[in-house]
Amino acid sequence: MTIRSKAIIFDDERKARLGEIELPEPAEGQVLVKTHCSGISIGTEGWIFTKRYKGTTFPLVTGYQKTGVVEEVGPRVDSAAVGDLVFLRSTQMASDIRSMWGGHTAYSIEDAQKLIAVPDGVDPMDASLLVMCAVGYHGAAEVMPIAAGELVVVIGQGLIGQYAAQVSRLRGATVIATDVIDQRLDYSAEYSADLVANPDRDDVAALVHEVKGNGADAIIDTSTNEVAINRSFEWMKQHGGRYCLQGYYPELTCLDLSTPHIKEIVFHNPTNVTDEGMRECMRMLAEDKLTVGPLITHTAAPEDAPRLYDLMLESPADCLAMVIDWRAE
């Protein structure tokens, strides 16, 4: 027996639609979850939608962060119960359509041990963007990690940059956020950073050295822009600075390593998230330490969701966080 579920399907490059897939029934240790909200990762899913993410083959169902309610429990499940509100990252599929995590589906089959409980008081829509929070947390808190009293510059204020900044500030750092999109800097100034700057018109180097004479202790890049990265090496302190390449770099990136050589900069290259980091971010959401809701710029019902992917390409400056709301399905 299989379960039929609506899903957002990428049939080809720049072609998205609401369709239907098949899921297996819950096996031992698995649960069936009815989706409430699935968060779009604008970066990763944008790369996939334009076939610039390595290994992309169509048709596929993408998405890797969602919330929902447990509707059915398979044999030998004692960590989840019917009615639980949970976060999960993917679904198992029985269709020929490829699952690139398969998060954008009306229903999911998942191992119960992979679920994260959504605490009372946490909005399911906010929690559906948990991976975005946890990516920023992974770089700033687990891989580098940022220390109290440090000066951190976060390049790029998309959603990952917002959370890299928020987490760095929660760890006691002073945070300068940079972006060439003023609207994103407005969000940063209100929710994520101590200071903001647009490098197209502001002297970021002067601002950095005004805040801390010897330069930044750490820089986190989420822009994946080699011009921005090379320029930022000048902002770093002379010895022992750390640089976090937090973005996705699908093509050859030309970096001028002469300044990092002179300044003895240490590079970190985090990827993905950890289970511990996701649970810590869920705890911080429950304690109102991370801001999500005000950063959500677009929501859509499943039938309108394909349009969100077009908007990502047509109006990137207007798109910060996007969520598909499945609750009416």
Q: Tell me, what's the pLDDT at 251? A: 83
Q: What is the mean pLDDT of residues 318-326?
A: 97
Answer yes or no: is pLDDT of 319 > 90.
Answer: yes
The model's confidence at residue 197, banded by pLDDT at 50, 70 and 90, is very high
pTM of the shown model: 0.96
Q: Where are the alpha helices (DSSP H) in 35-78?
A: 42-49
The pLDDT tens digits for 105-160 are: 999 999 999 999 999 999 999 999 999 999 999 999 999 999 999 999 999 999 99
Q: What is the mean pLDDT of residues 43-50?
A: 96
∠ Cα 95 97 101 (to 5°): 95
The pLDDT tens digits for 58-99 are: 999 999 999 999 999 999 999 999 999 999 999 999 888 999
Q: Tell me, what's the pLDDT at 95? A: 84
Domains along the chain with CATH numbers: 2-129+292-325 (3.90.180.10), 132-268 (3.40.50.720)
Can you say how many angstroms the Cα of residue 29 is from the centroid of all Cα atoms in its chain? 28
| Dihedral (Cα; 287, 185, 132, 9), 10-degree rounding | 130
230, with CB counted inside 10 A (0-12, 13-18, 19+), is middle
Inter-residue contact 174 to 152 (CB < 8 Å): yes
The pLDDT tens digits for 234-270 are: 999 999 999 999 999 888 899 999 999 999 999 999 9
Answer yes or no: is pLDDT of 1 > 90.
Answer: no
| Nearest partner of 39 among 245, 285, 315, 288, judged by Cα | 285
